[in-house]
Chain A
Amino acid sequence: MKYFYQYLVLAAIALACCTSCSKNDNSSSGSDTGTGGSLARFTITMDHLYVVDGKNLYTFDLATGYAPVKVNTTSIGFNIETIYTWKDKLFIGSRDAMYVYSIANPGEPSLLGTASHARACDPVVATDTVAYVTVRTGTTCGGNTNALYVYDLHNVVQPLLKNTVNLNNPHGLGLQDNILYVCDGNSGLKVYNLKEAYAPVLSRTITGETFYDCIPYGDVLICMIEGGTALYDISDITHIRLLSKITG
Chain B
Amino acid sequence: MTRKFILLCCLGAALTGLASCKGGSNTPGEVIGYAPVYQSDSTMANIRSDAPQPIVRGGKIYVRDKTMYQVEEGSGIHIIDITRPENPARTAFIHVSGAQELSIKGDLLYTNNYNDLVVLNISNPQSVREVQRMKDMFHITGGNVPPEKGYFECINPDRGSVIGWQKKTLYSPKCKY
A residues engaging B (CB < 8 A)? Answer: 28-37, 39-44, 49, 51, 53-56, 58, 60, 62, 66-68, 70, 139-140, 142, 213, 215, 217, 220, 222-229, 231, 233, 243-244, 246-248
CA distance A229 to B69 in the complex (A): 10
Interface of B is mostly: strand
Q: When the two chains form the complex, which single residue of B55, B108, B119, B140 contacts A246, counting CB atoms closer than 8 Å?
A: B55
Q: When the two chains form the complex, which single residue of A55, A70, A227 contacts B55, counting CB atoms closer than 8 Å?
A: A227
CA distance A243 to B65 in the complex (A): 18
When distances are taken between beta carbons in the complex, the residues of chain A under 8 Å from B111 are 42
Q: When the two chains form the complex, which single residue of B59, B60, B132 contacts A66, counting CB atoms closer than 8 Å?
A: B132
**By the criterion CB–CB under 8 Å, are B54 and A40 in contact?**
no
**By the criterion CB–CB under 8 Å, are B62 and A58 in contact?**
no
Interface of A is mostly: strand
Q: When the two chains form the complex, which single residue of B1, B2, B86, B105 contacts A44, counting CB atoms closer than 8 Å?
A: B105
B residues engaging A (CB < 8 A)? Answer: 1-3, 54-55, 58-65, 68, 70, 78, 80, 82, 85-88, 90, 100-108, 110-112, 117, 119, 131-132, 134, 137-140, 149
When distances are taken between beta carbons in the complex, the residues of chain B under 8 Å from A60 are 117
CA distance A142 to B104 in the complex (A): 33
CB distance from A65 to the nearest CB of B (A): 9
Given contacts A139-B2, A222-B61, A227-B55, contact A40 B134 (CB under 8 A): no
CA distance A41 to B100 in the complex (A): 9
Among B100, B102, B103, B112, residue most surrounded by chain A Cβ atoms (within 10 Å): B103
CB distance from A232 to the nearest CB of B (A): 9
**By the criterion CB–CB under 8 Å, are A44 and B88 in contact?**
no
CA distance A220 to B138 in the complex (A): 33
CA distance A142 to B2 in the complex (A): 9
CA distance A42 to B117 in the complex (A): 11
Given contacts A36-B60, A44-B105, A68-B134, contact A29 B88 (CB under 8 A): no
**By the criterion CB–CB under 8 Å, are B60 and A70 in contact?**
no
Q: Which 3 A-B pairs have the closest CB atoms?
A: A34-B64, A53-B138, A42-B103
**By the criterion CB–CB under 8 Å, are A40 and B60 in contact?**
yes
When distances are taken between beta carbons in the complex, the residues of chain B under 8 Å from A215 are 61-63
When distances are taken between beta carbons in the complex, the residues of chain A under 8 Å from B85 are 220, 231, 233, 243-244
Having A40-B60, A244-B87, A247-B55, one finds 18 other A-B pairs with CB under 8 Å, namely A31-B64, A33-B64, A34-B104, A41-B140, A49-B103, A51-B137, A51-B140, A62-B108, A66-B119, A67-B119, A68-B134, A70-B134, A220-B85, A224-B60, A229-B55, A229-B70, A231-B86, A247-B58
CA distance A120 to B159 in the complex (A): 35
Q: When the two chains form the complex, which single residue of B80, B87, B137 contacts A58, counting CB atoms closer than 8 Å?
A: B137
Given contacts A70-B134, A229-B80, A244-B85, contact A41 B61 (CB under 8 A): no
**By the criterion CB–CB under 8 Å, are B70 and A224 in contact?**
yes
Which chain A residue shows the least CB distance to B80?
A246
Which chain B residue shows the least CB distance to A119?
B1
When distances are taken between beta carbons in the complex, the residues of chain B under 8 Å from A32 are 105-106
Q: When the two chains form the complex, which single residue of B1, B88, B139 contacts A53, counting CB atoms closer than 8 Å?
A: B139
Q: When the two chains form the complex, which single residue of A37, A49, A220, A244 contacts B62, counting CB atoms closer than 8 Å?
A: A37
**By the criterion CB–CB under 8 Å, are B119 and A68 in contact?**
yes
When distances are taken between beta carbons in the complex, the residues of chain B under 8 Å from A247 are 55, 58
CB distance from A48 to the nearest CB of B (A): 10
**By the criterion CB–CB under 8 Å, are B87 and A34 in contact?**
no
Given contacts A51-B138, A229-B80, contact A28 B106 (CB under 8 A): yes
CA distance A58 to B55 in the complex (A): 30
When distances are taken between beta carbons in the complex, the residues of chain A under 8 Å from B80 are 229, 246
**By the criterion CB–CB under 8 Å, are B134 and A244 in contact?**
no
**By the criterion CB–CB under 8 Å, are A248 and B54 in contact?**
yes
**By the criterion CB–CB under 8 Å, are B106 and A229 in contact?**
no
Q: When the two chains form the complex, which single residue of A49, A140, A213, A231 contacts B110, counting CB atoms closer than 8 Å?
A: A49
